[in-house]
Amino acid sequence: MGRWEPNAAGRLREAAMDLYLEQGFEQTTVAEIAARAGLTARTFFRYFTDKREVLFGGAELLHERLVRALEDAPADATPIEAVAAALTAIAELLVDREFSGRRQQVIDANAELRERELIKMATLSAALTDGLRTRGVRDSDARLAGEAGIAVFRVAFDRWVRSKDDRMLAQVVNEALSQLRTLVAAS
């Protein structure tokens, strides 16, 4: 049972994304994803609980890295420097721009998935706020830096998946943070 399949999770992810884009997320079954990847539904369920988890399965890892980056930031880092470290850490997990872009197209095309993505972002924002509080940042700064940080991340992510050059997401995130500084200073 269950012979080892090289890169089964990656193949399933690519097959799922192809099908979600071709025929819609709703219309796609786990059996079709497995067949497209040349694998069985049984193998699919070894990696994902359902077809939605193919899109959102990475959220826990993002959360862990974000929390750890806040813990590891220098004690004298300002709140925004700590936010920058946290956003850089999660940006470094997202290295496959083409895959991220296709995933985003799938999400944009489906109201339920867009809601799920909003919830995921709200959860990351709360984690950022909590992590800042743990660092001793006062509550009102922590909440504002957490919300603004995730706002910057969302904008940078969209920019990155649409960009044509070879910049890494982490770089785009840090540029967007600088841009926010310029914007809010100009008033």
Chain positions contacting a second copy, by CB under 8 A: 78-81, 84, 114-115, 118-119, 122, 140-141, 143-145, 147-148, 150-152, 154-155, 158-159, 176-177, 179-181, 183-187
Tell me the closest approach of the beta carbon of residue 1 to a second copy, in angstroms: 38
Euclidean distance between the first and final Cα of the chain, in Å? 66
| CB-nearer residue toward a second copy: 47 or 56 | 56
| CB-nearer residue toward a second copy: 8 or 150 | 150
Tell me the closest approach of the beta carbon of residue 45 to a second copy, in angstroms: 26
| CB-nearer residue toward a second copy: 33 or 82 | 82
| CB-nearer residue toward a second copy: 17 or 176 | 176
